[in-house]
Amino acid sequence: MPVQPEPSEHRAGPLLDHLARRMRLRAESVLAPFDLRPRHLVALTVLRAGGGISQQALASTLEMDGTNIVGLLNHLEAGGLVERRRSPADRRRHVVEITDAGAKRLNEAECALSTAEDEVLTALDPAERESLYELLRRATTGAGANEITCAGAGEITCAGAELPDDPAC
């Protein structure tokens, strides 16, 4: 017979799943005018933080297979947001870098996302949001997790951002 949890035991999984679903739906709607999806944003964030990295290393960091990373990069490259070049050290490998246009689009998208996050997390005050961020950061960088560093994530500047139909910034 399975062990029944005590009524006082709280399980975070279902709540995290529900919150993630709400955030993902809201994020997709605010990112659509930028022709970006959340996975594009994560890739651009990794590239901004790490500079030029190999396509293979990016796939590993994002936990994506080679076919999917090629499709993702094709989309970003077509928009002028990333650039792929052959590695001078190993011509079989591609090095991927975020472009200036990509960094600008990423900043604008982050500003739009901050509005979406405010809507989803409206019940939390700023200190609680910071605590939530720190707890989630620790949970995602625990044993066995790939760490994705968001350089400057707390220093997003929205001034001058060109947000389509979104005066939030």
Q: What phi, psi does 75 have (nearest 5°)?
A: -65, -50
Q: What distance lies between CA 127 and its chain's CA centroid? A: 22
Domain extent for 25: 19-144
The count of other CB atoms within 10 Å of the CB of residue 122 is 8
**10-39 pLDDT per residue, tens:** 788 899 999 999 999 999 999 999 999 989
Asked if residue 84 is part of any domain, the answer here is yes
Contacts of 137 (CB under 8 A, 6+ apart): none
**128-144 pLDDT per residue, tens:** 999 999 998 898 887 54
User: Number of structural domains, the chain?
Assistant: 1
Q: pTM for the full model?
A: 0.71
- Tell which residue, 42, 117, 114, has the closest CA to residue 76: 42
Q: Are 106 and 41 in contact (CB under 8 A)?
A: yes
Task: List the CATH number of the domain containing 50.
Answer: 1.10.10.10
